[in-house]
Amino acid sequence: MTILLAIETSTELASVALLTGEALLSRELSGVQTHSQGILPAIQSLLLDAGIRLQDCDAIAFGCGPGAFTGVRTACGIVQGLAFGAELPILPVVSLLAMAEAAKQMADTTNVVCVLDARMGEVYWAQYRYAEGRWLELVAPVLSKADEIKAIEPSDDIIYALGNGVVLTQFDASIKQIPSMPHARQIAALGMHDFKAGLAMDASHAQPLYLRNKIALTTAERQQLKEAV
């Protein structure tokens, strides 16, 4: 039986999950300021409840982003520390893809555009289609203005999975939009798929997916935004 630990901290909703065969346990932490302090106790609690040691796991999956700078760095640091210590391989999973997996479970859809708030008036987004038992990446994760989202292969069944704070106004009311956030439950499911496909890698490869080099506004830029309001 394959045992997989999963971590997702790319947004304000941090979560951990443990997938053992068909059984799935999870924990959530709300509030980005708690991620670095709360994620390890949550993992310890999860393993204790399951009666499993970290060394009993086969791999650690984690949401590699895109997302909050501090959040994705937290995940990479924790995963590297745990994986090196327990001599486990890792499985990076794109956080937007986890949103697509959640949308498929909620709305039984196979064509999803996933959108996360990137702050500074921008969003992270990607488009995925599920076919023949796996997700296909139609549009790779990108950073843009919300009104610049351009889905390819549009269809009647397309769904827009929106993270907290995302509002899309450029589409008419017939376009279905549902709330969705990256979660360790979906990271675990996608990680298990990759593990069985032989995609596990060394812990040294725990790197964040960055789409933005600039992570904060300057004082002058903040003042310009205030004046524009």
What b/e sequence results for 198-226 when a residue is b if at least 16 CB atoms lie within 10 Å of its CB, and e otherwise? Answer: eebeebeebebbebeeeeeeeeeeeeeee
In three state form, how does the secondary structure of the chain look? CCEEEEEECCCCEEEEEEEECCEEEEEEEECHHHHHHHHHHHHHHHHHHHCCCHHHCCEEEEECCCCCHHHHHHHHHHHHHHHHHHCCCEEEECHHHHHHHHHHHHHCCCEEEEEEEEECCEEEEEEEEEECCEEEEEEEEEEECHHHCCCCCCCCCCEEEECCCCCCCCCCCCCEEEECCCCHHHHHHHHHHHHHCCCCECHHHCCCCCCCCCCCCCHHHHHHHHHHC
Same domain, yes or no: 190 and 133: no
Same domain, yes or no: 140 and 123: yes
Q: Is residue 124 part of a domain?
A: yes
Indicate the length of the chain as a whole number.
229
Number of domains in the chain: 2
Same domain, yes or no: 175 and 196: no
User: What pTM does this model have?
Assistant: 0.90
Same domain, yes or no: 89 and 16: yes
Q: Is residue 135 part of a domain?
A: yes
Q: What is the mean pLDDT of the chain?
A: 90
What pLDDT is recorded for position 153?
Answer: 65
Same domain, yes or no: 26 and 126: no
Same domain, yes or no: 88 and 110: no
Which token pair is 18?
Answer: 């443990």
CATH of the domain at 51: 3.30.420.40
Q: What is the pLDDT of residues 153-191, one digit of tens each?
A: 667 789 999 999 899 998 888 889 999 999 999 999 999
- Among residues of the chain, what percentage have pLDDT more than 90? 78
Same domain, yes or no: 84 and 135: no
Q: Is residue 224 part of a domain?
A: no
Same domain, yes or no: 32 and 77: yes
Same domain, yes or no: 82 and 189: yes
What pLDDT is recorded for position 202?
Answer: 98
The CA distance from 36 to 10, in Å, is: 12
Range of the domain at 104: 96-179
Q: Which comes out higher in pLDDT, residue 72 or 224?
A: 72
Same domain, yes or no: 132 and 30: no
Q: Is residue 213 part of a domain?
A: no
Same domain, yes or no: 90 and 163: no
Q: Is residue 211 part of a domain?
A: no
Q: What is the pLDDT of residues 118-163, one digit of tens each?
A: 999 999 999 999 999 999 999 999 999 999 998 886 677 899 999 9
Q: Is residue 16 part of a domain?
A: yes
Same domain, yes or no: 105 and 41: no
Residue 218 banded pLDDT, cuts 50, 70, 90? very low
Q: What burial class does residue 85 get, using C-beta atoms within 10 Å of its C-beta: 0-12 exposed, 13-18 middle, 19+ buried?
A: exposed
Residue 216 banded pLDDT, cuts 50, 70, 90? very low
Q: Is residue 115 part of a domain?
A: yes
Q: Is residue 65 part of a domain?
A: yes
What pLDDT is recorded for position 152?
Answer: 83
N- to C-terminal Cα distance for the chain? 56
What pLDDT is recorded for position 225?
Answer: 42
What pLDDT is recorded for position 217?
Answer: 45
